[in-house]
Amino acid sequence: MEVNLVEVKASYSTELNPVEGKWPWIVSIQKKVELGYKHICAGTILNNEWIITAAHCFKDWKEGDPTTPLRVLLGTFYLSEIGLRTQSRGVKQLIKHDQYDPITESNDIALIQLDKQVEFSDHIQQACFPKESADLKDLIDCSIAGWGAQGKHLDEPSQFLQEAQVERIDTKHCNKWYQGILGENHLCAGHRKGPEKTCNGDRGSPLMCRTKKNNVYSVIGILNWGSGCGQTRSPGVYSPIQSHIKWIVEKVKNEAVKATIQGKRLVPKLLFPLVKPDHMNPNRNTAQNSEAEIKETENTGQQSTPVPPMSPAELNSAYKAQTAENISRRNVLKRLLAAAAKLFK
């Protein structure tokens, strides 16, 4: 059976930009071009040294080739601007899955070892992952985020981080649209009805779903491909994290990563993503949860009081307010630097 697969796409149901820091484990992987760097894929922070992404992002990349250097931007929101919260790292090592097939896109997963450890902050945090034995049926409220192209220029990624809510679709149902090529090692997410907004720029992006029990967002899949931009019934296809936990642990050979990927939550020095960051809610306490609080939640099974969802108008208003505040801060910093330069002339 012959199926024409095109460039990897991501499913979008909205063009809304999240507030900066909302998804602190998402990174931009970029390659060197003539006039700087260009975003090629998104990735997810595994720990302070490793990133997980899709293997197909590096079909043309040769390890050790100085003509194709890569960098990873962490804590970034605008691709065109490296902010004060952003950290940039080089690539020490790239590991593609041993059984990755570039034709069928099976085992489409890769690990990046950074050349320098990351310093965690409220905008840079490691992700949570499901246990190998976890039942994904208990997960709700799935989202996808990345720098997917919007508008007419579909060959260029968005300069702003995009997000969208998606629903998990049964593989058997998804195969009706993909001519039966999906197997057990695939996850499918998008929308059963309505026009899909599937665009370039989100290859390697995480599929994130929330647990009912403790409101924790877990990364359950890495985006592989879709079948077109703007087409209906063309949901994104993902590599499931659970199917590759043993491979990840074997390749990384790091106890901290082993604990993270197997569901044992290690507390970093600063914040950590036990709940989805939500800087738009002024009542939310973003202080670090204590280990005692975590154990109490897990033992009692009690959930924290859920934050009421904000309307699209409220979200856009909050986004514009924060953007204006960021611009104001940058202008103040520029004036201070200009004044300092005059003093030292």
Q: Please report the DSSP string for 239-271 in residue order.
A: EESGGGHHHHHHHH--HHHHHHHTT-----SS-
Neighbouring-strand partners of residue 228? none
Pick the CATH number of 10-244 from 2.40.50.100, 1.20.120.1200, 3.30.310.10, 2.40.10.10: 2.40.10.10
Could you tell me the pLDDT band of residue 118, with boundaries at 50, 70 and 90?
very high
Cα dihedral sign, 197-203-204-205 = negative
Write the burial class of residue 337 (CB in 10 Å: 0-12 exposed, 13-18 middle, 19+ buried).
exposed
Q: How far apart are CA 136 and CA 75, in angstroms?
A: 28
DSSP state of 326: H
Name residue 264's amino acid. K
pLDDT tens sequence across 145-164: 888 766 555 567 778 888 88
Q: In the predicted model, what is the mean pLDDT of residues 247-266?
A: 66
| Domains of the chain, residue spans | 10-244
Most confident of 74-78, 235-239, 256-260: 74-78
- Output Rg (C-alpha) for the chain, integer angstroms: 20
Q: What is the rounded distance in angstroms from the CA atom of residue 343 to the CA atom of residue 208?
A: 50
For the stretch 221-246, pLDDT in tens is 999 876 444 455 678 889 999 989 99
DSSP 74-125: ES-SBTT---TT-EEEEEEEEEE-TT--TTT-TT--EEEEESS----BTTB-
Please give the model's pTM, rounded to 2 decimal places. 0.69
The closest of 8, 42, 30, 14 to 207, measured between CA atoms, is: 42
